[in-house]
């Protein structure tokens, strides 16, 4: 496996972009149309041609509300495509790192979720991701599933960018303050994935790696807390600071019901892989600095 390329799937996305920008040697990033879970034959061709030593699947249907209206599309991207990929990887003995979400939980536990807690998704997106996890684990015994949460970055569409754009245009923003989770920098998650890849390349595969591991930013907050933090960082860099009103979930109706409290306990990530992600507050500051320096990234 040492010296073999790492195939990253989902090239245009936040996480794959972060991985690609790490300049790690041996990374090969593919996305649509070359590798499209809606066309399984493209997955066969990509695996055959890339001959990777490790695959990282960072592709997914991530439009949470839109998934409610296209169940089949979400299932293809989040369950059937990843399952097909896992079967191909299993047949060739290629370890697979797949990324999943805190939205597999309903958010009613009242404490951080551990990997063994039962899933109970409230949305089509969450259900398709939970079924994807199980479909992968059923066919591949060298699959690492990293459940992350609330991903933001200087690349692509995400909540932090949305808040900075909204704050530049509006004197008052309204943001839900009763949903809690772990904001996660795509750059930090990419670093964790590359560290895991290094461990596998250096020491070989260990059975303890397999299965689900939670991998989110340290610390937690609400969407309101995240918005205020990002906007305060922007204000320090010269942007106007809007008023950010904390509202309830009922005040911001959405087609898909988000979990109330989907905090993830990431102890296993440290115990098994020796990795801990930085605190969300520090990483938001870094991301806002990059975003304001290069708003089109």
Ligand X SMILES: NC(=O)C1=CN([C@@H]2O[C@H](COP(=O)(O)OP(=O)(O)OC[C@H]3O[C@@H](n4cnc5c(N)ncnc54)[C@H](OP(=O)(O)O)[C@@H]3O)[C@@H](O)[C@H]2O)C=CC1
Ligand Y SMILES: Cc1cn([C@H]2C[C@H](O)[C@@H](COP(=O)(O)OP(=O)(O)O[C@H]3O[C@@H](C)C(=O)[C@@H](O)[C@H]3O)O2)c(=O)[nH]c1=O
The item of ligand X, ligand Y, none sharing an interface with residue 258, based on CB under 5 to 8 Å by kind, is: ligand Y
Between 204 and 214, name the residue whose CB sits nearer to ligand X: 214
Q: Minimum distance from CB of 186 to ligand X (Å)?
A: 6
Which of 89, 163 has the CB closer to ligand Y? 163
| Active-site amino acid positions | 125
Closest distance of CB 149 from ligand X, Å:
5
Distance CA 52, CA 15 (A): 19
Q: What's the first-to-final CA gap in the chain, in angstroms?
A: 33
Residues lying near ligand Y in the complex (CB under 6 A): 62, 64, 101-103, 149-151, 159, 162, 166, 173-176, 179, 223, 252, 254, 258
Give which of 173, 1, 145 is closest to 86, Cα–Cα.
145
- DSSP-derived secondary structure letter, 5: P
Q: How many CA atoms lie within 13 A of 253 on its CB side?
A: 1
- Residue 175 binding result from ligand Y, ligand X, none, given CB thresholds of 5 to 8 Å by partner type: ligand Y
Which residues 6+ apart lie within 8 Å of 158 measured at CB? 14, 151, 152
Q: d(Cα 248, Cα 88) in Å, to the nearest integer?
A: 45
Contacted entry of ligand Y, ligand X, none for residue 252, CB cut-off 5 to 8 Å set by kind:
ligand Y
> Looking at beta carbons, which residue is closest to ligand X?
13
Token pair recorded at residue 232: 């305060």
Task: Give 150 or 273: the residue with its C-beta nearer to ligand Y.
Answer: 150
Residue 137, class by beta-carbon neighbours within 10 Å (0-12 exposed, 13-18 middle, 19+ buried)? middle
Min dist. Cβ of residue 287 to ligand X (A): 13
Q: Which is nearer to ligand X, 101 or 228 (CB)?
A: 101
Binding site for ligand X (CB under 6 A): 10-15, 31-32, 36-38, 58-62, 76-77, 81, 99, 101, 129, 148-151, 156
Q: How many CB atoms are located within 10 Å of the residue 189 CB?
A: 26
């Amino acid at each position: 496996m040492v010296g073999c390329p790492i195939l990253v799937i989902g090239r245009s996305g936040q996480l794959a972009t972060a991985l690609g920008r790490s300049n790690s040697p041996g990374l090969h990033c593919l996305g649509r149309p070359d590798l499209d879970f809606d066309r399984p034959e493209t997955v066969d061709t990509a695996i055959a041609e890339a001959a990777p030593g490790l695959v990282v699947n960072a592709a997914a249907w991530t439009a949470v509300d839109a998934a409610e209206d296209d169940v089949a599309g979400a299932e293809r991207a989040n369950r059937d495509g990843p399952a097909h990929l896992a079967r191909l990887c299993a047949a060739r003995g290629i370890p697979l790192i797949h990324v999943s979400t805190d939205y597999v939980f309903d958010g009613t536990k009242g404490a951080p979720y551990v990997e063994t807690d039962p899933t109970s998704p409230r949305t089509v997106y969450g259900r398709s991701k939970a079924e994807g996890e199980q479909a992968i684990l059923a066919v591949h015994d060298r699959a690492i599933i990293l459940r992350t949460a609330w991903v933001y970055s200087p690349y692509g569409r995400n909540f932090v960018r949305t808040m900075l754009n909204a704050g530049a245009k509006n004197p008052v923003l309204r943001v839900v303050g009763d949903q809690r989770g772990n904001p996660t920098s795509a750059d930090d998650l990419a670093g964790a994935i590359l560290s895991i890849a290094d461990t596998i390349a250096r020491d070989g595969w260990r059975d303890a790696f397999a299965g689900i591991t939670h991998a989110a930013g340290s610390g937690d907050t609400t969407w309101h807390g995240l918005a205020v933090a990002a906007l305060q960082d922007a204000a320090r860099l010269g942007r106007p600071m809007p008023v950010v009103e904390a509202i309830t979930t009922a005040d911001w109706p959405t087609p898909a019901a988000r979990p109330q409290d989907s905090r993830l306990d990431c102890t296993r990530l440290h115990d098994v892989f020796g990795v801990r992600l930085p605190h969300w507050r520090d990483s938001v500051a870094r991301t806002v600095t990059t975003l304001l320096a290069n708003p089109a990234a």
